[in-house]
Structure 1
Amino acid sequence: MHKQIFVNLPCKNLPASKAFFEAMGYSFNPQFTNDLGAALVLGDNLYAMLLAEDFAKTFTGKPLVDAKAATEVLVCLSCESRDEVDQLVAKARAAGGSVPREPQDHGFMYGHGFEDLDGHIWELVHMTGTPPQG
């Protein structure tokens, strides 16, 4: 099966996007980072490739979605605790991201999220059990 995942996200201003995620405490893999793209390390073998818009266009014949106007993908990351969820949302807000909705507590799962500088939606969840059957 698969050993890594690279989610590719176009960015209008790659240096600003890198600074945003660095302010949240994330780092970049220098092996896959240059002026055209940056490999945001999300976990072991989990990456988001932040791509300069013109470079991202070379991967597809379709127009890129303006993530501030439409949603193409929702990135969801698991967290170790509710506190980690809340801390990451607070860091995103402090770094210039937006928080478009309130946290959601479903009993077995707590979630909240943010939009990065380009409008990409990042959902953060902490699972505390299994969903109810029925």
Structure 2
Amino acid sequence: MISKTYTPPRITSGDFRTKVEFYEYEPVEGPEAGEEVKKTLFVSFAKIDEVWMRDLELAKYNGTLSDLTISIRDPYKVYVPTNKHLLKIYAAEYESVAYRIKQVQPALQSRDFVKIIAEVNV
């Protein structure tokens, strides 16, 4: 029997309001070692979630208080995020901080989205 109640999706396209740039560092050419120049891999709009209040004590204990959950539309084969990539969030609160991707997982409610957990890059 088909249920007559409609439950709207948790994430909709209207939630993606923040510009996010995914990049990686490239080695510097020349005699000095190091990484300096960044190579932009993908630019997208995203939904940014901080640690939820119910998980606040656990986040304090684990040291993951500054972790973010970022939801983007699934870019399929155009860009595959990995834990070697960094990201920059174009919002006033986050613009001075670079984040490193910690974990990538598809959203289970809808395969159209990808959830990325990012931590502060030190």
| TM-score range normalised by the length of the shorter chain | under 0.3
Q: TM-score, normalised by structure 2?
A: 0.27
Q: Which has the higher helix share?
A: 1
Who wins on radius of gyration, i.e. which is larger? 2
Q: Which has the higher strand share?
A: 2
